[in-house]
Amino acid sequence: MPSALHERTVMPPDDLSSLSRFANGLAGPSVPGRARLIGPDGSELDLPEELYGLLRDVVTALSQGVAISIAPRHTMLTTQEAADLLNISRPTLVRLLTQGEIPHTMRGRHRRVLLRDVLDYQNQTREERRRALDDMVAEAEDLDLYTAARPPEDLR
């Protein structure tokens, strides 16, 4: 029976060399077929592509000295944790909460935010920035701003 999902943080090992070799092996050229996981008892399982990609990303991050946290999407975060995840200040996050940009609940006097709501907001703002940049590029192309400018005339 599977255990309950809890947040778990994995720190990179002190010696990154063996993990780096493993990461390089996972990042190598892809070949047709499915990745397989072989258990200690010799049993084999096909790894779905999504799980293989996740494993590759986790190993790559750990091999670069980055700690990894795994948490269920229903995890509740403090305002400081949510602000850190979004790379903004806590007062800025609180302003977003009071403006209704990100849903939150109150536990006594403390605000709590669902991880999934923070991730949804992060994806939404990322998509809005991408659209705005696409619009700016299209406008610059329409105005022919990407053509090479003539060199300035000699002022002497």
Mean pLDDT of 17-35: 73
Which of 55-59, 74-78, 133-137 is predicted most confidently?
133-137
The more confidently predicted of residues 152 and 145 is 145
Mean pLDDT of the chain: 85
Beta strands in the chain (DSSP E): 8-10, 36-38, 44-46, 68-70, 76-78, 105-107, 110-114
Asked whether residue 1 carries a pLDDT value surpassing 50, the answer given is no
pLDDT value, residue 122 = 95
Asked whether residue 52 carries a pLDDT value surpassing 90, the answer given is no
Domains along the chain with CATH numbers: 8-70 (no CATH), 76-142 (1.10.1660)
Q: What angle is formed at CA 135 by the lines to CA 133 and CA 138, rounded to 5 degrees? A: 110
